[in-house]
Copies of this chain bind each other. A is one copy, B any other.
Amino acid sequence: MTTPAAHHIPGRPCSIAAALQVLGEKWALLAVRELFYGNHRFDRIVRNTGAPRDRLTARLRALEEAGVVERRPYSERPLRYEYHLTEAGRDLAPLTQSLLAWGDRWLLPDPPVTLLHRPADDQDQPVHPLDAAWTCRTCGQEVHNGDVSLDIHSPGWDREGPVPDQDSATSPS
């Protein structure tokens, strides 16, 4: 509770570092995963993540303070709370999905769960497996790893290469 959101960001000024400050603690993202999956109660999150109860309490409090999670009572008298994602929390969907996609590809090639997609604004579309891709709204094209470069407008950045050279030699082991 002595940890306000205005943490010191390590290294250089960077939104990735700032985001990890909030989300990078152990169990935080697994708790968020459970909230996405519709499990809003403490015990259920404990069971599904395997997190120690005290750690989960701490993480949920921190996420609440960071504005990712909201704790709302669902019963007075035995005062009980359940946890819900705020808008900021719901906006983590791309993040959890890219974690899921990466894990599916590189760690668990036979994934225990897949995502289904049906656009809300096109109900004619049948439900189908989600095959997610990054695209750029500006040009409408899919974003590939090498297509992105950095525009730095802040001091505290040192780098040599003019471009975040995504390597060249691609010899996967």
Residues of B within 8 A of A58 (CB): none
| Contact mask for chain A residues 124-137; partner B; CB cutoff 8 A; 1 contact, 0 none | 01011111111111
- When distances are taken between beta carbons in the complex, the residues of chain B under 8 Å from A12 are 48, 112
- In the bound complex, residues from chain B placing their C-beta under 8 Å from that of A92 are 102
Q: A15-B107, A143-B130 are in contact. Are A150 and B116 (CB under 8 A)?
A: yes
CA A154 to CA B104, docked complex, whole Å:
14
Binding site for B on A (CB under 8 A): 1-2, 4-6, 10-24, 26, 29-30, 33, 36-39, 44, 47-51, 67, 70, 84-88, 90-108, 111-122, 125, 127-139, 141-154, 156-161, 163-167, 169-173
